[in-house]
Structure 1
Amino acid sequence: MFNFLQRIGKSLMFPIATLPAAALLLRFGQDDLLGIPFLSAAGAGIIDNLAIIFAIGIAFGLAHDSNGGAALAGAIAYLVLTAAIATINESINMGVFAGILSGIVGGLLYNKFYNVKFPAWLAFFGGRRFVPIITAATMTVLAGLLGYAWPPIQQGIDAAGDWILNAGMFGVGAYGFLNRLLLPTGLHHVINTIVWFDFGTFTDAGGEVVRGEINRFLKGDPTAGPFLSGFFPIMMFGLPAACLAMYMAAKKERKAAVGGMLVSIAFTSFLTGITEPIEFSFMFLSPVLYVVHALLTGVAMMVAFAFDIRHGFGFSAGAIDYVLNFGLAENPLMLLVMGLFTGAIYFAIFYLLIVKLDLKTPGREDEDEDMVEGDSTEHGTSGTDETDARAYQTIAALGGTDNIVAVDYCTTRLRLRVKDADRVDEKALKRSGARGLMKINKTNVQVVIGTAVEFLADAMKNRIASGNPPLDQNIDFNSNATAPKEELPMKKEILPEDFVMPVDGKIIPLSEVPDEVFAQGMMGPGFAIVPSGNTIHSPVDGKIVSIFPTKHAIGLVTDTGVEVLIHFGLDTVNLKGQGFDLLVEDGQLVERGDALLKVDMDFVGANAPSTVTPIVFTNLTDQKLDVLKTGNQRQGTTSIIKVQ
C-alpha cells in the first residue's frame, strides 16, 4: 500500500506541473495586470479541467511502460464516469476525486490488459486496443454504484473539509506540520491534492462552482489562502537562512566545498519554492533539525492566519508566485516582515543546534565520509557529457546495473527499486552530486538529485539498457546499440543463494514426473515439486516474460539471462484457467518470494491428472544444473539449485 500510494503521489506531479502555466495565463489576463480576457480564459481552460487532467496524468504515471494508451484509458474512464453518473443524480460533482479514481482505474486496467490476445477474428481488438473497451465497461459499472454511494461519501469529505477549514489556527498549523513531515515519503502530494483541489467551494462571477484552496484563490474567493500563505516565509526566507546556518557551521576547510551547493539550493527555494534539495541535505544527517523544521512550518502557518494574511500560489510558495499573485492577496507585505523574522529564527535555531549538538550537516561530516560536490569532469567529460558521466557514477554507486530493478523519478528525486538497498553506496552517491539518500525498505530507495532529475533518470535508463559501459566507449544510446572494446557474452548462472523454493512441497527428480516431455528433459533440465502449499512464489529476481492464457504456467528470465518455466500440474491447460488466480502480469519485474499464482488445490487436484509441478530451465546449453536439496522443503528455502 505504501509503494502504491507513492506511485499515486509521483503520478500527481504530471497534472500539478501544468499549474504554473495556468496560473500565469489566468493572472496576466486579469484586469489588474494586462486585462486580456482570452489569456484568462486560456488559464481557466486548465484550472476548470483539472479533474480530467488528473485522470490522464495518473493513468500515464501508473502505466508500467508510460504508454500513451494508459493516458487515453484515464480520459475515457473520466468521461464515462462523469456522463453516466449524472443520469442517476444531477447534483453529483465528484471534482478531482473523479479524476483520481479514473486515473487509477485506467492505469491498473492498462497494466492488466495491454497484451491480452484474442482469436484471429477478434485480433484487431486485442492488446492495447482492448484497454479503452474494458475501461469503459468498468467505469459504467462503477458509475452505477457511485451514483448511489457517492453522495454520503461526499458529505463525509465535505464535513472533514469544513472542519479543517473552520478549525482556525489549529487546522492550518496541523496541515503545515503534516505537509513537511510526510515529505520524505512523498505522501505529502496526496494530502496536498485534497486540500488544494477539493476542500471548500466557491461560485465565481460566471456562476461556476470551483473547489480547492488553489482554484478558489486564483478565481477570487476572498476566503481562500490560509492554507497557502504560511509557506511563503518558510520557502523564501526560512530555508535559505537554514542554508546560511549550515554554511556558517561548516568546518573551515569544507566551506568552499559546500558553499556553492548551499547557495544554489537556497536561491532555488527562494525563487521557485522547490525546497526538497535543502530539506534532504539535512533530513537524514540530522533528523532533529527536520522535526524542528516541520514544527516551524506549522507555526508559520498559524502566525500568517493570526495576522489575516491571505496569499496563494499556482505551483509553490516562491518569489515568482509571490509577485505574480500579489494583486489577489490580502496583507501580502506582512509576509515579507514575517519572512525576515522567520529567517532570523531559522538561522539562530539551526546554527545553535548544529554547533551545540554537533549535528552532521553538510560540511560537518566526519572526514572519512568525504561528502563533496561531484566533479563530472574527472572522467574527461564536459558539456553535454556531464549528465552521462553522472549517470555512470550514480549507477555504480547504486550497486551496478545488476542491483537496479526499476528507475523512476518525481520533482527532485530518483525513486528506485533495487535488489538490495545495502549495496547502495551513500558516500559515492554524494560524491557524484546527490543531495541525500533515503532507504524506504530493503528494495526501495530514493536519491535526492535536484531539478535536473529527469535528465539524469533518462540517461541512467539508457545506460542500464546498455549495461552501463565505461565512459570511454563509443555508445549510440539513441539506437540502443553499443560499440564496446570487447564483446563479452552474458554469463548464464544462478548462485545457490539467488534461488528459493517457490512453494511448500517435496522436491523430486524431473525424471519422476509422469509426463514424458518433462521426464526426458525435452524442455530443458530442472526438477519437480509435489506441492503442499497453494501459492507459487517467484524463485528468482527477474522479469515475467510469458504467462499462458490458461494461467497454469509462467515463464521468467533472470538478470543473468536464465529462463525459468514454472508449470503447475500436468494437463492443467485443459482447466482453461479455472482454479488459478494470477497475481502478476506479463512484463512485470519480480523479486524472490513475490507471489505469482494462487491455486485452488481442491479443484485442481480433483480435475487434473496430477499437481506435480515441474520447474524447468529452458535455455541452458553449456551450463550445468545441480539440484542441491531433495525431500520436503519450505517456501523461501535457499540453496535449492545451482546453475554454472
Structure 2
Amino acid sequence: MLNFLQRIGKALMLPIAVLPAAALLLRLGQPDLLNIAFVAKAGDAIFANLALLFAIGVAIGFAEDNNGAAGLAGAIGYFVLTNATQAINENINMAVLGGILSGVIAGLLYNRFHNITLPDWLGFFSGRRFVPIVTAAMMVILAGLFGVVWPPIQEGINAVGEWIISAGAVGVGVFGLLNRLLIPIGLHHVLNSLVWFVFGEYNGATGDLNRFFAGDPSAGMFMTGFFPIMMFGLPAAALAMIATAKKERRKEVSGLVIGIAFTSFLTGITEPLEFSFMFLSPLLYGVHALLTASSMVITYLLDIHHGFGFSAGAIDYILNFGIAQKPLYLLPIGLIYGGIYFAVFYFLIKALDLKTPGREDDIDEESEGNEFVPTGDKNEVMASYFIQDLGGKDNLTSVDNCATRLRLTVADMKKVNESSLKKHGARGVIKLQKTGLQIIVGTNVEFVANAMKYQIKNGPISLGKAENEAASAVSESTISANNMEFILPFSGKVMPLSDVPDQVFSAKMMGDGFAIEPTNDTLVSPVDGEIVSIFPTKHAIGLKTRDNLEILIHIGLDTVKLNGKGFTTLVNEGDSIKKGQELIKIDLNYLKEHAPSVVTPVIFTNLQDGQEVHVKKVGNYHQGEQDIIKVQ
C-alpha cells in the first residue's frame, strides 16, 4: 500500500509544479490587492481544474512508459465519472478524489491493455486506442456505484460541520483536524463552506468569515489557528525535508519545496506543499493534521481573533491586522510551531526512514537510472548490430526490456531485417503489431538494452576492434554439462518445453530445457554455482553452474507485468549458491489469479551446438527429485 501511495505521490508532482505560480496570480488579482480580474481568473483556472489535472498527471505517472495516451484516458475517465454521477444526483461533487481515482484506474488499465491486439475488423482500436474506451466503460460502472453511495457520505460531512460549530475548543480542534484530513480527497471545501459561510449570524452576515469582516468580535475562531501553521509550520517542515533529503538530490528537492514553502507563507496556499508529502509519507501528514488542530485550540483558548478573505498567509495577516484581536500573539506562536514542525519532521523522517521528497525508493525506474559506460564487450557489439538491423536509430521509437527479451517500438516495420537480427544474436523475433516488436536475447538482455540506449543517444561504437574482442572472449569460454548434478527446483508437474503455452519458450527461441507447473511456494537452486542475474521485477533469475552452464528460471508466464508483486527474493546477484538453497518465495495463489499461467520454464541458455536437453521424467514430482533431465 505504501508503494502504491508513493507512486501516486510521484505522479502528482507534475500538476503540482504549476500551483505556486497559479496561487500568486490568484491572490494578486483579488479586489483587495491589484484588483485585476483577468489575472485572478488566470490563477483560478488552475485551481478550478485541479481534479482534471490530477486525473491526467496520475494516469501518466502510473503508465509503465509514461505515455500521453494514459493521460488522455485519465481525462476521459474523469469526465465520464463526474458527469455520470451528477446525472444521478446533481449535488454530488467528488472533487480531487474523482481526479485521482480516474488517473489511477486509467494508468492501470493502460498497463493492462496498451498492447492488446483485436480482431482484424476491429484492428483500428487495438493497442493504445483501446485504453480510453475501456477506461470510459469502467468509469460508467463506477459512476453508477458512486451515484448511490456518495450522497450519504456528503450528508455525513454536513452533520459533522453542524456539530463542530457549537462545540467550543473541541469543535475548533476537530474542525482543524478534519480540514487537513479531507484535503487529500478534496472535500475540505464542503466543511469550510459550512463553517465559514453558513453557520452563525451577526447583523445579517452568516458564517465565521463573513461575520469577522462584519465586525463580530466573536468571529475568527475557525480561521485564526491556521496562521501559525501556514506562515511558519509548513515552511519549517519544508526545511526539514530539504535537510533530510539524499545529498545528491538536495538541490533538486530545494528547487521543488522552497517555492511552494514561500507560497504557503505568503498566500496561505498549502496544497502544493502538502501534496508533496501526504502520499509519500502519510504518517507525517497525520502529524501535520494533529498539529493544525492543536494550533486551532490554542488560539481559541487565548481568545485571539484573526481572519482572512483568501487564506491564512502573510498577505491576509497584514491586510486584516487592523480589524483583528491580539494579532501580534500569532508571531511568537508561529515561531514556536515552526520549531516544533522542523524538529518533529526531521526526527520522524530520519528515525522511520520516511520517503519524503528526495528520499523515495526508485520504483520501476531502474533502466532510467543506469549509467552505461561503453566497454566494447559482446553486448555492445550485439546492440550496435541490432540498431543497424532495425533500420537505424531513427527507426527506433522506444527501447525497453523484460527478463529475456527486448521490447521495441519501431516507426517502420519494413526496415527491420529479421534474418540479420538472428545472424547477430537474436534467438527469435516476434512482430506484435505494425510497430511493436520483441527480440529474444537471453539473460543478458538488460545489458544489450542499456547499450542500445547509449548508442542511440551518443552514436554507435566501432565494430571492428570490439567485435574481435567479443569473439575472442566467447571462444575462450568453456561450457560443459557432463558432470552437472541437477535437482528439481519446484514441486509440481514436469513437462517438455513444447507444452508451454508461450511460443517463445515452446519454440525454444531462448534455448532448450523443460518446464514445471509448481505446487509449492519456494524456488530452490537446482545446481551448485552462482547467481548471475535477478530481474528487477523478481520473476526471473539467472544461474551459472561451476562448469559455466547458464540457466534461466522464468517463474510463470508474462509475470513481468506484476512488477514484483507475489515474489520475495532470498539471494542477491553474485552470491554463491548450493543445490537446494532457497532462492525466491512466491505467492502462488496471487500468481494464479493475476498471471496467465504459473508454468515455469527452466532454460539452458548457452548450450553448445549439438547439445540438447532430454526430459527423462514427466508428470508430478517433489522438489529435489534427481535424474529429471539429461543434457547430451
Matched, 1:302 2:301: no
Matched, 1:51 2:48: no
Residue correspondence of structure 1 range 252-263 to structure 2 within 5 A:
none
User: What SS does structure 2 have at the residue aligned with 1:33?
Assistant: coil
CA distance in 1, matches of 2:138, 2:69: 16
CA distance in 1, matches of 2:173, 2:291: 9
Q: CA offset at residue 158 of structure 1? A: 3.7
> What's the CA shift string for 1:466-504, capped at 9, x where partnerless?
3799xxxx99969445899997989999xxxxxx999x7
Partner letter of residue 23 of structure 2? A
CA distance in 2, matches of 1:239, 1:14: 21
Q: What residue number does 1:147 align with? A: 147
2:602 to 584, 603, 616: 616
Matched, 1:524 2:504: no
User: What SS does structure 2 have at the residue aligned with 1:115?
Assistant: coil
CA contact (8 A) 2:94 2:187 kept: no
Q: Which structure has the larger Rg over C-alpha atoms?
A: 2
CA 1:620–1:135: 2 relative to 1, 3 Å: same
> What's the CA shift string for 1:92-151, capped at 9, x where partnerless?
333333223322222222222122121233222111111110111111222223223322
CA 1:149–1:267: 2 relative to 1, 3 Å: closer
Q: What residue number does 1:464 align with? A: 370
Q: What residue number does 1:343 align with? A: 335
CA 1:7–1:346: 2 relative to 1, 3 Å: closer
User: What SS does structure 1 have at the residue aligned with 2:33?
Assistant: coil
Q: CA offset at residue 438 of structure 1? A: 5.3
CA 1:598–1:519: 2 relative to 1, 3 Å: closer
CA contact (8 A) 1:311 1:332 kept: no
CA contact (8 A) 2:164 2:174 kept: no
CA 1:198–1:64: 2 relative to 1, 3 Å: farther
Q: What residue number does 1:417 align with? A: none
CA distance in 2, matches of 1:312, 1:19: 19
Q: What residue number does 2:491 align with? A: 505
CA contact (8 A) 1:162 1:199 kept: no
Unaligned 5+ segments in structure 1 are 180-187, 206-215, 247-259, 280-288, 354-359, 362-434, 441-445, 494-499, 546-554, 569-581, 605-610
Q: What residue number does 2:71 align with? A: 71
Residue correspondence of structure 1 range 446-461 to structure 2 within 5 A:
446=355, 449=358
Q: What residue number does 2:100 align with? A: 100
CA distance in 2, matches of 1:48, 1:512: 58
Q: Percent identity?
A: 34
User: What SS does structure 2 have at the residue aligned with 1:201?
Assistant: helix
CA distance in 1, matches of 2:497, 2:239: 72
Partner letter of residue 294 of structure 2? V
CA distance in 2, matches of 1:55, 1:613: 37
CA distance in 1, matches of 2:113, 2:542: 24
CA distance in 2, matches of 1:467, 1:175: 56
Unaligned 5+ segments in structure 2 are 198-208, 244-250, 275-283, 376-450, 480-486, 526-532, 545-549, 569-584
Matched, 1:632 2:622: yes
> What's the CA shift string for 1:513-556, capped at 9, x where partnerless?
899x98997863444435436x89999942679xxxxxxxxx85
CA 1:345–1:192: 2 relative to 1, 3 Å: closer
CA contact (8 A) 2:488 2:623 kept: yes
CA 1:564–1:137: 2 relative to 1, 3 Å: same
CA distance in 2, matches of 1:84, 1:615: 47
User: What SS does structure 2 have at the residue aligned with 1:149?
Assistant: helix
Residue correspondence of structure 1 range 20-35 to structure 2 within 5 A:
20-35=20-35
Q: What residue number does 2:535 align with? A: 542
TM-score, scaled to structure 1: 0.52
How many residues end up aligned between the 2 structures? Answer: 455
Q: CA offset at residue 49 of structure 1? A: 2.3
TM-score, scaled to structure 2: 0.52
CA contact (8 A) 2:27 2:310 kept: no
Q: What residue number does 2:89 align with? A: 89
CA contact (8 A) 2:161 2:194 kept: no
State the superposition RMSD in angstroms: 6.5
